[in-house]
Amino acid sequence: MFRSLSLVFIMTFSSLGFALPVVAQADEQQTQQSVLKTITLQVDNMTCSMCPYTVKKALKKVDGVARVNVKYEGDGKGWAEVAFDPGKTNVESLIKATTNAGYPSHL
């Protein structure tokens, strides 16, 4: 009896010990994601499949940018999806970064 009670006690507290940090971590990620703003920029002057790497590199240098996804669609056009912290940067700074890299962009 004592052995089964000890086992239940250990299993209960072990599962609680592992569950609490996971919940706290999930709450922290959700809070961080809710602060981020995501926009899609239309990017011009893209002429090859290597252009997205240059655009992505330029955007990632902007303080406050968390994630960047860039796609070349052909005919000099492409897009960049950017997740950023609006407290650290703004859309104008993102557009300036792509333009300075040789790829003018707009919303």
Would you say residue 1 has pLDDT above 90? no
**Mean pLDDT confidence for 17-28:** 49
Q: Distance between CA atoms of 80 and 62, rounded to whole angstroms?
A: 14
Helix H or strand E encompassing 43: strand 37-46
Class for the domain spanning 36-106: alpha beta
In the block, which residue shows the tokens 């919940």? 23
Higher-scoring residue by pLDDT: 82, 74: 82
pLDDT digits (tens, 9 = 90+) for 36-72: 999 999 999 999 989 999 999 999 999 999 999 999 9
Would you say residue 14 has pLDDT above 70? no
Compute the mean pLDDT over every residue in the chain, rounded to the nearest whole number: 82
Q: Distance between CA atoms of 31 and 101, rounded to whole angstroms?
A: 32
- Share above pLDDT 70 across residues of the chain, in percent, rounded to a whole number: 68
Domain ranges of the chain: 1-35, 36-106
**Mean pLDDT confidence for 11-40:** 59
Strand pairing partners for 79?
A: 42, 71
pTM of the model: 0.68
Would you say residue 6 has pLDDT above 80? no
